[in-house]
Every structure is written in C-alpha cells, then in structure tokens.
C-alpha cells in the first residue's frame, strides 16, 4: 500500500465511521421520557397504525433517504460486495446531510438477485421518504429501479443512471458554449453502456441531441450486433443514427464529445486526437479516469472534465442527488420525471454565467447548487 493510501485508511480507522445518529430532543427529565418515549409514543403509534399516510408529518420519513447498494458495481472498482460498498454509501449519506440537511442511511445488502433486492427495499420503505439506489450493476439495476418506482409511493432514483445523466447534460450544455457549438447538433460518443451510459444517453436524447453512439466492452452498440438484449438492445434502437459499428475507436473519430463511463485508462491519446476540432472529453471513471486530464489536453481536447474533485471541472453526480431529493422530499414528489431531470440540468448549468475551459460547473461547495436543483424538482 502506498503512503497516501495508508494515510487515508488511518484517518478512516481513527474516526470509525463518518456519520452518526443524533436526537433532535434531549431527555433530561422523566417528563421528557414520558413525552418522547412511553407512554407518549403509544399515542402516535396508535394514530399512525390507522393513518399511515401521516407518517411524513410525525416521523423520520419526512426527511430521510435510504442509500441502497448490493456492492455489485462500486465506483470504477467493480463487484466488490456489500462491505466494499459500505464506505461509499456512508460517504453518500454524509453528503446528503452536509449539503442538503437530509438524514440518509447507508443500507448495504448481502442479496444480489433483482427479486431479492426489490423485496428488501420494499420491506424497509415505510421508514423512508425516498430511496437512492447506488452502485448496482446492470442490467439488473434497470429492472430493480423500474419495479420500485411502480410499486412504491415514494421517489426512487438510481443515482448512477439519473444523477450522472443530469450532471453530464449540464456539463455538455456549458462546454458547448465554450467551444461555440450547438449542443443539439454535436456528435456524442459514450464509452460504457452500463447504468450510467444508458441513463446519460437517454437524457441527452430527451434533451434533443440525436447523434449519440455508445460502446461496451465488445464494441459499438449498433443494430448490426446480434448479441444484444435487454437495455442494450433497446438503446440500439434509439441511438447511433448513422449505424456506426466496430471498435469504440470508430465512434470516437470526429466526435465532438467523448464521455467516459467505463474504467480507468480506457481512452487513448490517439483516440482524443481523432476527435473533431475543439473537442470535449469527460473522463468520469473513479478513482482513475479513462484518460488523465494532462494527456487529454496534450491530445487537443478544448474542455476536459473528470469525476474527481482534485481536477478542474468535476462532473460528478454528487452535484445532483442532494438537490434532487431535497426538492422531492419538500414537495412530496412520488416520482422523478424526465422533465424534472431536464429542469435540474438546465438549472445546474445556469449557475455558471460565463463558462470557461476550466469552469463549466459549480463545485459541490457552492451553496447555490442544492436549492437551485431542489427548486427544479416540482
């Protein structure tokens, strides 16, 4: 283990966890126990048993989100299981609290089949005002999210799909201004056709961009392929209007925008050089980008973003999910719609009045971000 990694691990071990529960009321007197626990709590329990819809007004359901993962697709680290997922879900919960004042709870599941995950999430849903699905591998993530949206009366969002899609669209809109191109007419290549790639392609298309091509580990998603099924087959029918086929490098040639949602080191300098003039590269794999920013710049990219916080232009869903759920909880939203996602992306982009090559999005520390996005969720 390198010195930096040792230092990070030591900091985590010393703290022993980054979040904690804390009561909103204190219990200094017996009267307080009587009000906030027994016998007072019996009155509220009896009431909610008959009026469950009022749980939002008298329980944690009003301001709570479950951050749920089975650890099957954690960051760019892959299937590392629930224990590997726990630090990430805990970090997400910390962000929810710090940025949006939402009480979020890391829930890591040691079950992995779609029906098992759906059953568990439905079982715990009464305590929560929203469900943030995270780091669940495709293709099962699509079915899990769809079913939970249909079967629960609280907002459910797979952040890898939709949080990523919203922040990428915002970044594309402002990067297009920097390179003086019409966003809707740009050619977009997406490396990675999993949850993030799918969600991003669909939202970009909903916005009005038509020339979108994706590639997975086997090559370009095209109508010529006979090995596609499920979500990838569906994507082949609504993307790649020129029906490009072959290796991923073929779709990158002359592309205006290259979005990496795959793994570290997957994009080469030569591929960036093959892009259209004034190209845009978002290498979003974490913790190692598909191509390092200095290499992409050397290859001629005009605007470069990564998913990391230690380079300019962090294109990361942490800019999005706190505000989305803040708005959903405040307004009793039951479903996050495409219109809400589009509005959130436009709102996020609007916070940068004059985009530049190194400033296309605000940072997560910008206090305007959460309320601005929350306002778009209505």
**pLDDT score at 8:** 86
- Clarify whether residues 135 and 255 are in a common domain: no
Q: Considering the chain, what is the average pLDDT of its residues? A: 95
Q: Where a domain ends, among 129, 154, 179?
A: 154
The pLDDT-based confidence of 72 (bands split at 50, 70, 90) is very high
> Taking residues 241-270, what's their average pLDDT?
96
Q: Does the pLDDT at position 76 exceed 80? A: no
262 and 130 fall within a common domain: no
Looking at residue 184, which CATH number applies to its domain?
3.40.50.720
| Nearest 10 degrees: Cα torsion 131, 135, 139, 141 | -10
Domain-embedded: residue 313: no
Query: What are 185-228's pLDDT values in tens digits?
Result: 999 999 999 999 999 999 999 999 999 999 999 999 999 999 99
| Residue 130 pLDDT > 90 | yes
**pLDDT value of residue 209:** 98
Residues 145 and 169 reside in one and the same domain = no
126: confidence class by pLDDT, cuts 50, 70, 90: very high
- Compute the distance between CA of residue 265 and CA of residue 153 in angstroms, rounded to an integer: 41
pTM to 2 decimal places: 0.92
Residues 166 and 290 in one domain: yes
- Tokens for 15, please give them: 């703290």
Is residue 229, in this structure, part of any structural domain at all? yes
Q: Are residues 107 and 238 in the same domain?
A: no
- 7, 12, 37, 119: the catalytic one is 37
pLDDT higher than threshold 90 for residue 184: yes
- Whether residue 170 lies inside any domain: the answer is yes
Report the pLDDT value the prediction gives residue 65, as an integer from 0 to 100. 98
Alpha helix locations (H) across 179-243? 195-207, 230-238
CB 135 within 8 A of CB 91: no
Are residues 219 and 254 part of one domain?
yes
Q: How confident is the model at residue 371 (pLDDT cuts 50, 70, 90)?
A: very high
- Which residue, 284, 306, 328, sits at the end of a domain? 306
What pLDDT score does 2 carry? 87
244: in domain: yes
Q: What is the pLDDT of residue 283?
A: 97
Q: Are residues 281 and 238 in the same domain?
A: yes
Would you place residue 359 in the very low, low, confident or very high pLDDT band (cuts 50, 70, 90)?
very high
Asked if residue 311 belongs to a domain, the reply is no
% pLDDT > 70, the chain: 100
Which has more pLDDT, 368 or 286? 368
Q: Is 37 a catalytic residue?
A: yes
Q: Are 218 and 187 in contact (CB under 8 A)?
A: no
**Residue 224 domain flag:** yes
pLDDT higher than 90, residue 161? yes
Residues 146 and 53 in one domain: yes
- Choose the catalytic residue: 61, 92, 181, 232: 92
Query: 17 burial class (0-12, 13-18, 19+ CB within 10 angstroms)?
Result: exposed
Tell me the pLDDT band of 16, cut-offs 50, 70 and 90: confident
Residue 90 has pLDDT above 80, yes or no: yes
The C-alpha atoms of residue 325 and residue 321 are separated, in whole angstroms, by: 6
The residue range of the domain holding 298 is 162-306
Confidence of residue 32 (pLDDT cuts 50, 70, 90): very high
Q: 252 in a domain, yes or no?
A: yes
* Structure-model confidence comparison of residues 23 and 346, the more confident one: 346
Same domain, 135 and 224: no
Q: Are residues 175 and 267 in the same domain?
A: yes
CA distances from 377 to 121, 139, 154, 252, 342 (A): 23, 27, 14, 34, 10
Same-domain pairing of 73 and 106:
yes
The pLDDT of residue 9 is above 90? no
Tell me: do 191 and 69 sit in the same domain: no
Sheet bearing 103-108, strands edge to edge: 103-108, 64-69, 130-133, 156-158
Report the run of H or E that residue 66 belongs to, with start and end. Answer: strand 64-69
Question: Where does a domain end: 96, 120, 154?
Answer: 154
Residue 330, pLDDT > 80, answer yes
CATH code of the domain in which 113 resides: 3.40.50.10380
Residue 131 lies inside a defined structural domain of this protein: yes
Catalytic-residue membership of 297 = no
Tell me, rounded to whole angstroms, the distance of Cα 195 from its chain centroid. Answer: 10
The domain tally of the chain equals 2
């Amino acid at each position: 283990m390198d010195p930096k990694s040792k230092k990070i691990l030591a900091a985590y071990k010393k703290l022993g966890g980054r979040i904690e529960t804390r009561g909103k009321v204190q219990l200094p007197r017996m009267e307080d126990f009587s009000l906030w626990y027994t016998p007072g709590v019996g009155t509220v329990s009896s009431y909610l048993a008959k009026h469950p819809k009022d749980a939002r007004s008298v329980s944690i359901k009003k301001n709570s989100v479950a951050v749920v993962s089975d650890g099957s697709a954690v960051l760019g680290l892959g299937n590392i299981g629930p224990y590997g997922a726990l630090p990430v879900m805990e970090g997400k919960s910390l962000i929810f609290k710090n940025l949006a004042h939402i009480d979020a709870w890391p829930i890591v599941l040691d079950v992995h089949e779609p029906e098992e995950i759906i059953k568990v999430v439905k079982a715990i849903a009464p305590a929560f005002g929203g469900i943030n699905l995270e780091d669940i591998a495709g293709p099962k993530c699509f079915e899990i999210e769809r079913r939970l949206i249909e079967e629960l009366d609280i907002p459910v969002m797979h952040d890898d799909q939709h949080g990523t899609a919203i922040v990428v669209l915002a970044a594309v809109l402002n990067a297009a201004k920097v390179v003086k191109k019409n966003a809707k007419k740009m050619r977009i290549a997406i490396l990675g056709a999993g949850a993030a790639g799918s969600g991003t392609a669909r939202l970009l298309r909903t916005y009005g961009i038509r020339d979108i091509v994706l590639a997975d580990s086997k090559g370009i998603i095209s109508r010529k392929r006979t090995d596609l099924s499920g979500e990838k087959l569906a994507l082949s029918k609504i993307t790649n209007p020129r029906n490009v086929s072959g290796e991923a490098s073929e779709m990158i040639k002359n592309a205006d925008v290259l979005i990496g949602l795959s793994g570290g080191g997957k994009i080469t300098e030569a591929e960036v050089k093959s892009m259209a003039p004034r190209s845009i590269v978002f290498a979003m794999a974490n913790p190692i980008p598909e191509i390092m920013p200095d290499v992409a710049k050397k290859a001629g990219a005009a605007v470069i973003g990564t998913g990391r916080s230690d380079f300019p232009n962090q294109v990361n869903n942490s800019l999005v999910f706190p505000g989305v759920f803040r708005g959903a909880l405040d307004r009793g939203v039951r479903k996050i719609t495409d219109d809400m996602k589009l509005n959130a992306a436009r709102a996020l982009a609007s916070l940068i009045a004059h985009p530049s090559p190194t400033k296309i999005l605000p940072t997560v520390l910008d206090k305007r971000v959460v309320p601005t996005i929350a306002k778009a969720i209505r």
